[in-house]
Chain A
Amino acid sequence: MAEMTYIQAISDALRLEMRRDQRVFILGEDVGVYGGAFKVSLGFQEEFGPWRVIDTPLSETAIVGGATGAALMGLRPVAEMQFADFISCAWDHLVTVAAKQFFRTRTPIPIVVRLPSGGGFSGGPFHSQNPESSFAHIPGLKVVCPATPQDAKGLLASAIEDPNPVLYFEHKHLYRRIKGEVPEERYTVPFGSANVHREGDDATVVTWGAMVHTATEAAEELAKEGVEVEVLDMRTLVPWDKARVLEGVRRCSKVLVLHEDTRTGGFGAEIAATIAEEAFEDLDAPVMRLAAPDTPVPFSPPLEKAYIPQVEDVVTALRELAAY
């Protein structure tokens, strides 16, 4: 084991995959000489050469469409969007081509698109978004949202191994803030398996990404008041671990669904609806949702703080839930 930051774990996974599989290559803007906007691939071009760490023009369509074509020819591309926000420029290529090709023609598209996402540092409306629910709605795409260094590494290995298009949402606010013990060797973390980030029996928080840490801090506050809250880290949204969520509902009877994406049509709505359909009688309180409001991500610090669910917001919600 070695202590790594979240971003080091991502680099480590990518490097190990490229060492073990010649078919894996990276393409994106500034990923080569510069090492990527966040330095995930720093030093990779020296190790793997300019044809496995490919600097592209500012062309998200060429990046994702190109990854699809290379995958059809048997390679394993890992495309980097400089910011998750820019995936809108390549929407067509994910949603129209990559997501539907296997269903139509039985030709798999094993690509990974890395998406630095999330806010918390005044990135404004175009460098802060969490667009995971938009893609979770598209049949044929897998959606991964790691919250810890250990999962970041294992889920990226799984994503590269997966025979489908995988969107790997890496939260920028976790990059250097979150550290953890990470096995030095290669390993995979399976998709569709939620992780209990914190144990508790009085309520369960269903969440993912950076909100796992926000929820955990809030849960520590509630513990001081004698309320033990489970924090369930979904890890992947497509597929999502419905069985584990429903088990949490059965055991705790109170649920808070929490995410940094906006509220209406967010993936939390799908989880809440499923709980209502399949575990209604296990509930002692209405399913509660806490999410960003339905606005673009604002720039100015007080506005952004009001936008992203804060520890105190989660504490308030959990108190209300506990008292119901």
Chain B
Amino acid sequence: MAVREAEPVGSLQEVKEAGLDREDLLGIYRSMLITRGIEERGHILYKQGKIPGSFYTGRGNEAAAVGVGTAMGPNDVGTPLHRDMGVHVTRGVEPWRVFAQYMGREGGPTRGRDGNVHMAVAELGLHTMVSHLPAMLPVASGMALAFKIRGDRRVAVGWFGEGAAARGDAHEAMNFAGVRQLPMVFVCDNNQWAYSTPTYLSYPVEHIADRAAAYGFEGVVVDGTDVLAVYREAKRAIEKAREGGGPTLVECLTLRMEGHAVHDDAFYVPKEMFEQWAAYDPIERYRTWLQNHAELSDDEENEITATVKRLLNDALDRADASPLPDPATLEGGVFASQEDLDTPHHK
């Protein structure tokens, strides 16, 4: 079972066959702009000293994240990571809550208990990552196990990077999912750099997706800067899992366009590599596609850009108005009570 290298997406007709109408296509564009906008503004806030701790961005990964997020069904779940802001945005996180999270405010999804991209809104089917990558993969396989036990037509999506692929968690989760044919999709954000470690020091095969064969399921490599190709492959994998076809490993190939975190200037990445991949900026690329295939007009584009700008301005104001957590509340909430169980997201 050799790994399949996915074709790029061509015509509007092809996209329509994949289940997207024009409104959806513009929605994807909007989500990508919001994703980048959140991170660009977050970076400015960080430089202004308004964000404590460290700051991570997913520049270059917007298409991979939004593409998979769009392919998920309303009752599907997932465990996105620190390059996957686009998944949160696509699933409907309110941007002000992301800014509040960055700033350690009560209004953030973790209410200041955790920071940066360690957040998710469970009501949107997303569950919060930990720093230890890819520790959320076995958790996602457990979610898929729950669906299999109950016979739910739902799918769990677990994300990991090519760096995290070196850890044992990835193996255990994939092996278990393969053995039990769980309704699950493994998404590898392969951005080619694990902090400063290049791919050839992380894994010895051509593709991470090559490994899928060892676990008895399909692997596919897709251009992670092509949002519609990512969508198509993720959709296929998710629907296959939903129909009982077992897991798929979808590897989205991108380049991390900034450092590991904003303190890192990525001096170790060859300049030519950045230049080469800058020509495949996911947002520029998609805008051109929309202009060529979906008649995106300048007026339409300007309106979308202006709406996103307003949304983010309002979000910043609202986040800034959110209070810092009260230190007197620190020791509460270590343990759950019965009332915390079986809330709508807990099912």
Question: What residues make up the interface of A, taking CB atoms closer than 8 Å to B?
Answer: 25, 27, 51-52, 54, 56-57, 59, 61-62, 64-75, 77, 92-93, 96-97, 100-110, 139-140, 142, 163-164
Contact = CB atoms under 8 A, between A and B. Distances in A.
Interface centre among B77, B109, B136, B334, by most chain A C-beta atoms within 10 angstroms, is B334
B335 interface: yes
7 contacts: A72-B146, A73-B347, A105-B109, A105-B128, A106-B333, A110-B341, A163-B335
B130 A103 contact: no
A106 B333 CA distance: 8
A105 B110 contact: yes
A82 B135 CA distance: 22
B143 A163 contact: no
A68 B346 contact: no
B346 to A, nearest CB: 6
Interface residues of B, number: 51
B143 A73 contact: yes
A321 to B, nearest CB: 35
Contact of A107 (B131, B135, B345): B345
B148 interface: yes
Contact of A70 (B142, B341, B342): B142
Interface string B83-119: 0000000000000000000000000011001100011
A93 B122 CA distance: 19
Contact of B136 (A52, A54, A97): A97
Contacts of B345: 107
Contact of A75 (B77, B114, B138, B149): B149
Contacts of A56: 176
Interface string B145-187: 1111110000010000000000011001101100110000000
A66 B135 contact: no
Contact of A92 (B135, B334, B338, B346): B135
B342 A67 contact: no
B255 interface: no
Contacts of B130: 96-97, 100
A62 B128 contact: no
Contacts of B114: 104-105
B143 A61 contact: no
**Nearest 9 pairs of A and B residues by beta carbon:** A69-B142, A65-B138, A66-B142, A108-B336, A73-B146, A62-B172, A69-B143, A69-B139, A163-B336
Contact of A65 (B109, B146, B173): B173
A100 B127 CA distance: 13
Contact of A68 (B139, B333, B337): B139
A77 B139 CA distance: 13
Contacts of A66: 138-139, 141-142, 145, 176
B340 interface: yes
B122 to A, nearest CB: 5
B146 A93 contact: no
A51 B151 CA distance: 11
Contacts of A77: 142
Contact of A106 (B132, B139, B338, B340): B340
Nearest to B130: A96
A65 to B, nearest CB: 3
Contacts of A92: 132, 135, 169
B143 A72 contact: yes
A51 B342 CA distance: 22
A97 B346 contact: no
Contact of B346 (A51, A93, A107): A107
B140 interface: yes
Contacts of A67: 142
Given A104-B113, A163-B336, A70 B149 contact: yes
B137 interface: yes
Given A51-B149, A65-B137, A96-B132, A72 B336 contact: no
Contacts of B143: 69-70, 72-73
A11 B236 CA distance: 43
Contacts of B249: none
B141 A103 contact: no
Given A93-B138, A108-B346, 14 more contacts: A59-B172, A66-B145, A68-B142, A69-B138, A70-B142, A70-B145, A72-B146, A74-B346, A96-B131, A103-B334, A105-B110, A105-B114, A107-B122, A163-B336
Nearest to A68: B139
Nearest to B146: A73
A307 to B, nearest CB: 31
Contacts of A105: 109-110, 113-114, 119-120, 122, 127-128
